[in-house]
Amino acid sequence: MEKSLYYSLNQFLKERFGEKVKKIPLDAGFTCPNRDGTKGKGGCIYCDAKGSGTGLGQSLSLKEQIEFFIERFKKKGFKKFIAYFQSFSNSYGPLSKLRETYSIILNYPEIIGLAIGTRPDCIDIGVINLLKEFQYLGYYLWVELGLQSKHNQTLKFINRGHTFEDFLSAFYLLKEHEIPVVVHIIFGLPGESRDMMLDTVKTLSELKPEGIKFHALYILEGSPLGELYKAGKVKELSLKEYASLVGDSLSFLPPETVIHRLTSDPPKEGLLSPMWLLNKNQVIKSITDYMKETGQYQGKFYHNLS
């Protein structure tokens, strides 16, 4: 059998649970401190009104979303699920509200895990203790932290509202409490060279998060980034550039880091650029083709970094 070029989430879940497991994306109606004025207003310059999620929270209750996805994926043969609180910052709010929200999974025996997408500045010991309760109950748990870039000048430019040091504090706090961390990064952020992007990956490979999600920056109509793009001040990556960036990055990562995502899933409506992101299969094929052509695989250069 052909050796896998990277360690995918599907492979990891199958190994851990002995069968395929499906993540269900949920919009629990949270907001984000970078949008409500606590940290900033308007959010990250690329953020859309759905807070990088499904937007389903506006029309369906959490219960309805869970039951919709479970029913849909059961028809495709899945029997186990991970509740993925995806939209906006899912650890931002009073602990009582967080507890009530996460606890909905207790009603569904087929849900065996909990994934929380959030910002580094929304992790504190109260949140960690709450998450530990679910871990003690036997749920497989991880936290997804948006870093995007290790470069503070980039984080400032994109109006992220936190620094790399804030990310490190949250990351170490989670690690100290044995909560797995999945880190999101974005390639193609304004002002970043290829070396800067790979530098972020090399730093992550030293930190050894349990997982990583690669995103290509996409530009939406109506976002501050969209205005910069129309003014000719932002240039998107080409598919070729993105494929080689992800391919090279995988070589630098530890072989055991789980790859949760290789590319972004932009909405078709309102997408200004890059349009190649709409063909996800082609993006993934371009990455794997590049890896094959260059003889790369995940972890190939990991040990050369230290």
By CB under 6 A, residue 264 contacts ligand SF4: no
CA gap 111, 101 in Å, rounded: 14
Q: Which is nearer to ligand SF4, 118 or 296 (CB)?
A: 118
By CB under 6 A, residue 154 contacts ligand SF4: no
Segment lying near ligand SF4 (by CB under 6 A), choices 45-53, 194-202, 242-250, 257-265: 45-53
The residue whose Cβ lies closest to ligand SF4 is 43
Q: Which is nearer to ligand SF4, 7 or 167 (CB)?
A: 167
Q: Which is nearer to ligand SF4, 88 or 290 (CB)?
A: 88
Q: Which is nearer to ligand SF4, 22 or 119 (CB)?
A: 119
By CB under 6 A, residue 145 contacts ligand SF4: no
Structure tokens at 79: 């029997």
CA gap 254, 252 in Å, rounded: 7
The secondary structure element, H or E, covering residue 285 is: helix 280-293
Backbone angles phi, psi at 37, to 5 degrees: 100, -15
Segment lying near ligand SF4 (by CB under 6 A), choices 28-36, 93-101, 102-110, 272-280: 28-36
By CB under 6 A, residue 22 contacts ligand SF4: no
Instruction: Output the DSSP codes for 77-99.
Output: T--EEEEEE-SS-TT-S-HHHHH
CB of 170 to ligand SF4, least distance (A): 13
Backbone angles phi, psi at 194, to 5 degrees: -55, -40
Work out which of 5, 26, 47, 179 binds ligand SF4, going by CB under 6 A.
47
Q: Which is nearer to ligand SF4, 90 or 288 (CB)?
A: 90
What CA–CA distances, in Å, run from 33 to 46, 151, 160, 171, 236?
A: 15, 21, 10, 18, 27
CA gap 6, 292 in Å, rounded: 12
Segment lying near ligand SF4 (by CB under 6 A), choices 39-47, 73-81, 205-213, 215-223: 39-47
**Residues whose CB falls within 8 Å of the CB of residue 203, separated by 6 or more in sequence, listed in order:** 150
Work out which of 21, 26, 51, 197 binds ligand SF4, going by CB under 6 A.
51
Strand pairing partners for 145?
118, 183
By CB under 6 A, residue 119 contacts ligand SF4: yes
On whether the CB atoms of residues 119 and 143 are closer than 8 A, the answer is no
Binding site for ligand SF4 (CB under 6 A): 32, 34-35, 43-44, 47, 51-52, 88-89, 119, 146
